[in-house]
Every structure is written in structure tokens, then in C-alpha cells.
Amino acid sequence: MTTLEELSAITAAARAAEHAVASASDTVRAGWLRAVADSLDAHSDELVRIADEETHLGATRLQGEVARTTGQLRLFADVITEGSYLEAVIDHAVPTATPPRPDLRRILHPIGPVAVFSASNFPFAFSVAGGDTSSALAVGCPVIVKAHSGHLKLSERTAELMLEALERAGAPKGIFALVTGREVGQALVADPVIQAVGFTGSVSGGRALFDLAVSRPDPIPFYGELGSINPVVLTASAVAARGAELATGLTASFTLGAGQFCTKPGVVFVPAGAGFEAAVAEAASGASGGKLLTDRIAEAFPAGVAAIASDPAVEVLAGEVQQEDVTAGATPVVLGTTAAAVAERPETLLEECFGPATLLVSYDSEDELLDALRVVPGSLTATIHGQPDEDLSALVAVLRGRAGRVLFDGWPTGVAVNWAQHHGGPWPATTSLFTSVGATAARRFQRPVAYQSAPASVLPEALRDENPLRIPRRVDGRIELP
């Protein structure tokens, strides 16, 4: 367990490293990221073994997650060497304008040392070397990670490998550290050295840290991913055309990883009288759940299911609400209700239930469906299953206001890591616009600085007329490519 005295030394080292990390070239920082990725890949078997002992997620899933994690590191290396992440803008002086316009040049600079809180459900991709860490390091911010108690051994070993790789690659001391303990996590957010926080976890835990971050004498941004029920809409035409396939796909999605994905489809709107509920109940009865990540999650799962099932408009379609030994493994639960009930009591029926459970909501008309969708809490994703000849514009208009990613004819579990990906949504999905997946994650840990009538000698290279970095820029209102 990290002590408060040790934390003070760690944050002091991060402060001391801040200038060296920020002033390193993009090429050099990209080398640091690739060195970490290479080291994690080289030790993949060892890391997967430790992770499976602590999380029981299975070697196949964990091996894929290591690959995703190292892929993220390499993506951010590509992002910073491409250069547009700096958002370099140059507006030359126009002395003849009324009033005269000075020479103005703007660029994004690293925000400073960043605190990152690991997630329980992704011990690699949203953890010590995950997207928060890699995006912050990429843009030149030292990082201090608070390890998750659910996989401490893995966190410590991953941190060891990262530190060794960073040292071999020539990164400055203080660029990265790992701390443990709840009290230390709170002190980390309050420490004046820390300039931003990345968090993935529960609404209650995230809200407490969010309030701490913004109540500091110097409030700082808190980028939290907290809760998401990820609504799915099935049209009557889609169910008529491929109902059995949709039932199988939904079941596979909401039980994947024992229902512990942040993108799990937690509420599914289905046409009344189409028989879809029976198809899902049958598919779920043959599906397995799995061991939940922590005792706390295991205790919360049946309680969460019971809270929803206690509503008089809810029916248990498959599975058991009261599970005898959920710590040994949770089994799938399918609940059913109506769109009218959801519109009346969203605070009860649309509560996130972390684990292998989903709520099927029947609707009689498009108007009833849209009314219910408007009360759905902010989510990371929203999914539509329709047919090619259907007009889905009204659904899209509502759902894009409730989620950050709108999917068509697929399932939300599974998040590609690339330039176009967006992972975020309205509260409580995120506390800001987006989180740690996709190239724009780097934007969270930068702040804009404009230089007015500055001599060339003090300008960052990205803002000099000759464009020595050969990066994309906007000059006098036009995009210029190298």
C-alpha cells in the first residue's frame, strides 16, 4: 500500500519530469510508447497468466486485450507523429484590416501531470497501460496510475515492465508511477501537482472523485466513464425478418464477459406481440454467465436485478433473481416490461445492472417508443436493428442525443481502436465529451495557447512559417498539408 509520504515523493518526481516530458519531440515520445508496447507483447503470456488468476476472464479474452492495449499504444504513437493532434493554426497579421489584425498562432500544449484510475473490468486496456495512460504520455504528460484492487499483482507487474521499457528508451525519471490504496487515490486527485484525472468505474466512486477534483482550490478536469445502459432498438420489420438471429446475437452480447462490459446492451426495445421475448428467454436459458470480477460486484448484481424486478410492471422472463452463490458465478437474467412503464419510472427501470442481465421493453407504436427513448440516461452506445427500406431518421435523431456512438445492425460489445472511434456520451456515461478510446482521447490532456506577434525564436516548431515538422496546419483559414 502506498503511503502518503511516498505519494508526495512520486508527485514531486512527476513535477520535476514535466518539462522534459513535454519538450521531448513527438518522434521521441512515440519511441517511448512503442518500447512499452513491445515489452508488453514480449511478456504477454506471463501477464495473461497473472490476469487470469486475479480476474478469471479467461486466457483467450485476456490475450486479445493485451493485443488491444499494445495496439492503442502504437496508435497514439502514430497520432502524435502525424501531427494534426496539435491543432496548429496560423493567422498572419493583416495591418490594413479594420481594426488591424495582429499575427496570431495557436497550438495545443500538454496540460501537465495526470492521474489515471484503473478499471476492474479491463485489466489491460483500461488499466495501467491503457488508453488514459497512453494518450496522456503521448502528448507529453507524466502519468501516475492508481491501481485497481481487483488485479493488484497484474498492475504491479505491468508497471514494472513499463518502467523498465521507458528507462531503456531514455524517458526521464518521474514520467510514470503506480500507487495503491483508496486513501492515496483521493489524495492523488487533491494533489496540486495533478492537472487532470482519467477514471473508469462506478457512478458512485467516479462522482466522489469528480466532486473532489472540481472542489480543489484550483479545479481540474475529471474525465470519467461511469455508467451506461446502451439502449438497443429492434424494429418490427427486423424482428420479422431475422428474429431468431437477433435473439442469439443479443444473448451473446449481454452475457459476454459475464455482462461486465461498459458497452453491454442493458435495455432493449422490442415490438410488442412479435414473440421476441420468448426467443431471448430460450437463448438465455442455454447461455452461461461467469464469475464476476470482485466480491463487491458479485454482491451488487443480484441486488440490482432485484431492484428492477420489484417494479410491478416487470416480469422475469429467464433466469433467477435471487442467485444462491453469485460469488462463484452469475447466471443470465432476462427481464421484461413496457415502454409506458419506462416512460413513467425511468429512475427505477433504467438503472445500470453490472452483470449478465438485460431488460426487454415492449412498445406498441413509434410514438410510444420515442417517448421512452427520450428518458433513457446518457450512454456510450445506442444500437438500431432495422431493415434496408425503413426510415430510421426519427430514431437516429433521438438516439444520437442519448449516446456517443450509434450502431446499425450490430452489437455494442466490442470497441474498435482507431482514428474515428468515439467512446463517450452524456452523463452518466461520461463527465466530459469522450474518454480513452480513439485518437481524440489525446485532446483531453492538452490545452490551447495562442501566441500573438511572437518572434520566431520563441515559437513552437509547429507554428513556424517554414513548418519544420511537416505537419498538417490551418494557415490563414485554409488547411495546408505538408
Active-site residue set: 225, 262
Cell of 343: 416512460
CA distance 15 to 115: 12
CA distance 365 to 362: 10
For the chain, helix (H) and strand (E) counts, in that order, are: 15, 17
Phi, psi of 28, rounded to the nearest 5 degrees: -65, -45
Whether 213 and 197 have beta carbons less than 8 Å apart is answered as: yes
What count of other Cβ atoms lies within 10 Å of the Cβ of residue 53?
11
CA 14 to chain centre: 24
Nearest to 67 by CA among 82, 93, 47, 89: 47
Strand partners, 405: 381
Whether 373 and 402 have beta carbons less than 8 Å apart is answered as: yes
**Residue 132 CA: distances (Å) to CA of 243, 257, 315, 468:** 39, 22, 40, 29
The residue type at 60:
T
What count of other Cβ atoms lies within 10 Å of the Cβ of residue 443?
15
What count of other Cβ atoms lies within 10 Å of the Cβ of residue 401?
14
CA distance 33 to 24: 13
What count of other Cβ atoms lies within 10 Å of the Cβ of residue 321?
17
Nearest to 81 by CA among 22, 142, 25, 141: 25
Whether 19 and 76 have beta carbons less than 8 Å apart is answered as: no
SS3 481: coil
Using the Cα atoms of residue 455, residue 457, residue 458 and residue 459 in order, give the sign of their dihedral.
positive
Q: Which residue blocks in 226-334 are alpha helix, DSSP H?
A: 236-255, 276-285, 295-309
Nearest to 371 by CA among 276, 272, 265, 269: 269
Nearest to 194 by CA among 266, 121, 113: 113
